[in-house]
Structure 1
Amino acid sequence: MSCEEPHETDCGEILDHLYEYLDSEMPDGDRAKFRLHMDECSPCLEKYGLEQSVKKLVKRCCGQDDVPADLRAKVLERIETIRSGGTPTEPPPG
């Protein structure tokens, strides 16, 4: 997705890291870059609003469910693998 307008930060980069922004998991300097882009780019702002709404809906509908500890550990392990540049392994079918 791109609005075809020139921006300091590419729309693709913004959308690739949208959930880091939504979850407040990115450094303040990057958050400022995202806010600036959102101020300039209506399509990205619209996508942000949509994803924010979906996140709120999921939290409202599923927010009371406890996450199994082993699932949480597996997800965190995969996130760390991806962040360190590795390739996550797929679980065996079954």
Structure 2
Amino acid sequence: MSCGDEHETDCNEVLAEVWLFLDQECNQNRRDLLRQHLDECHPCLAQYGLEEKLKELLARKCGGEQAPNTLKARLRDQIRLAVLEQAQVTVESGPGGTTSIEVRSTRIERRV
């Protein structure tokens, strides 16, 4: 998804990390960058709002029960994979602990 406007951080990148943002699983610099984008981009802010409401609903409906840590880790991994796939981001681990990240995006140009 892209709103078509120029941002320091691409819309697909922001939406791929919205759950990390909601769960406060990214560092403060990244949170600030994502927050700035959400403040500037109404389509991303709307999507963020949906994700935030979903998280609140899940917490309210499932709040009293504790899932095993292994299940939490598996779910977290599957959600990350689904979000990265939707945002067309590929992450590969290489030898020696190196990581390669590829972001495929479509650039939309608007004529004014």
The structure where strand makes up a greater share of residues is 2
* 1:50 counterpart SS class: helix
Q: Identity of counterpart residues, as a percentage?
A: 43
The structure where helix makes up a greater share of residues is 1
Name the counterpart of 1:60: 60
Name the counterpart of 2:93: 85
- Paired residue type of 1:43: P
- Cα RMSD of the aligned pairs, angstroms, is 2.6
Deviation digits for residues 20-43 of structure 1 (CA, Å, limit 9, x no counterpart): 000001000001101110111000
Give the TM-score of the pair, scaled to structure 2: 0.64
Structure 2 alignment gaps of length 5 or more: 82-90, 95-112
When the two structures are aligned, how many residues end up with a matched partner?
A: 83
Give the TM-score of the pair, scaled to structure 1: 0.75
Structure 1 alignment gaps of length 5 or more: 87-94
With CA pairs under 8 Å and 6+ residues apart, which has the higher RCO, 1 or 2? 2
* 1:24 counterpart SS class: coil
